[in-house]
Chains A and B, each alone.
Chain A
Amino acid sequence: MAKHGTNSEDYAGPLKRLLLAVLLLCLIGLFIFWRIDSPRAERFRAQIVDTVMPGFDWAMAPVTGAVRILRDFQSYQRIYDQNQELRRELRRMTAWKEAALQLEQENARLRDLNNVRLDPRLTYITGVVLADSGSPFRQSVLINVGSRDGIVDGWATMDGIGLVGRISGVGANTSRVILLTDATSRIPAIIQPSGQRALITGDNSAAPPIDFLEDPDQVRPGDRIVTSGDGEVFPPGLLIGQVAEDPGGRLRVRLAADYERLEFLRVLRDHGARRVGSPSALILPATPPAIEMPPAPVPGDG
């Protein structure tokens, strides 16, 4: 018995080790492939997510719904306070609504006078949030519209009010939205009354900081932040949020979109958006603009 045992151990041991080595090589090879040719690997990832997620979807929707109902139920405990607050808010809102109606009429009259045509390219597709990133390190959501619906990488995504993120990774039926709070998100923006340009850089916190601000003194908390359209990343003029100052004195964005409840997202069709096909395409321009530029004094400076 003992002899039989050792024999099969001898036989199974190297085989197991071989399998282990092959598996490890495959995994590490996949990782290196991802590092070298990221867009292709990410497309592969999008395809896998696209095949796996619809299988989860039928179960996900009811579970999510049930948990949300439970959470809403908890909020009934504070219902009286909420009711009072809503009444106060409603009174304030009625005044605002009156003002907004007047402004809308005035705006319509002025537009009519100017013969303005709204940008016909900015139409949108609405999708439902299927899943989140599942990891505390990445902030992204998966929505149920994909290349079948004409979604293209790089399009802007909004909820009803503000910018939410950017499409990155499109499968046939699903696509991933990298949220503004993700650590890899960089959005060029303008801060409204002063016209200062800045970059909204996500850092995995609820309020992304404002970076590369030309003159912070001209910016006040409460200023509106909209996309600038620089670098053809996004169409200009989409609302991002308001400026806020954190206790450390750093300027941050209070996002206009309601990140607590992302359910329906609008993907803006943007046919002017630049498409990213190869790894360096986002950094290098398609044709080098060297001809129009004055010759540099020293070519290899630095």
Chain B
Amino acid sequence: MAEARPARIWVMRAAFIGIALLVMFYRLLPLDMMPPRFAGPDVLVALCFAWALRRPDYVPALSIAGVMLLADILFQRPPGLWAALMLLAVEFLKSRDRRDRETTFLMEWLRVAIVLLAITIAYRLVLALLIVPTGTAFLTLMRYATTIAAYPLVVILSQGLLGVRRMAPGDFDHAGRSL
């Protein structure tokens, strides 16, 4: 019951934004200016999915949209498109997750992989249709694969360190509604 106090929810919402800013900060560090041979995982994406599937109330649509838009702007991506796709994906996962709760982690991982693949393809398709130059397909594939591979790690870290874990079916929020 202590988990569900409103103060806790707001603290965790702020924590999500703080962690996202930290991840962006790390990626902007001017450590290596050589073009990379391979693309690392997009931790921000994994973080959004992991939190949205565990505690949807910690990551409202507004904070997902804000964080991803800021990432778009800072990382020189076309502003708005990836943010919109991420928002769609996260909300889709949230609604699906509310419907069938009894899932194993493997199923969740698979679902995240499929959704991420779908929005990655949609992203590249839209950019190709509008003749915006995108990176090589190899790098995109690499980034997709590493993000999926890093997903369990992000889940473990957010469960272990920050206590973002699924609500049990009997839990209620502060107003007494079942989640």
Contact = CB atoms under 8 A, between A and B. Distances in A.
Nearest to A258: B33
Interface in B1-47: 24-25, 27-36, 38-40
A267 interface: no
A136 B139 contact: yes
A130 B28 CA distance: 9
Contact of A31 (B31, B36, B78, B177): B78
B113 interface: no
Nearest to B142: A136
A56 to B, nearest CB: 6
Interface string A29-52: 111001100000100010011001
B79 A262 contact: no
B135 interface: yes
Interface residues of A, number: 57
Nearest to A12: B177
A135 B30 contact: no
A154 B143 CA distance: 31
Interface stretch (A112-120, A176-184, A213-221, A273-281): A176-184
A63 interface: yes
Nearest to B177: A5
B37 to A, nearest CB: 9
A291 B39 CA distance: 52
Contacts of A59: 25
A68 B29 CA distance: 11
B133 A260 contact: no
Contact of A136 (B36, B62, B79, B87): B36
Contact of A141 (B33, B38, B130): B33
B81 interface: yes
Most buried by A among B65, B76, B135: B76
A5 B130 CA distance: 45
B80 interface: yes
A30 B79 contact: yes
A64 B70 CA distance: 22
Given A141-B30, A204-B136, A134 B74 contact: yes
Interface string A172-196: 0000100101011000000000000
A179 B76 CA distance: 13
A95 interface: no
Q: Give the 3 A-B CB pairs with smallest separation, nearest first.
A: A137-B135, A31-B80, A30-B80
29 contacts: A5-B178, A9-B177, A27-B87, A31-B78, A31-B79, A31-B84, A34-B78, A35-B78, A35-B130, A35-B132, A41-B79, A45-B76, A60-B28, A129-B30, A131-B28, A132-B30, A132-B32, A135-B76, A136-B35, A136-B38, A137-B39, A137-B140, A138-B75, A142-B28, A204-B139, A206-B34, A206-B35, A259-B33, A261-B33
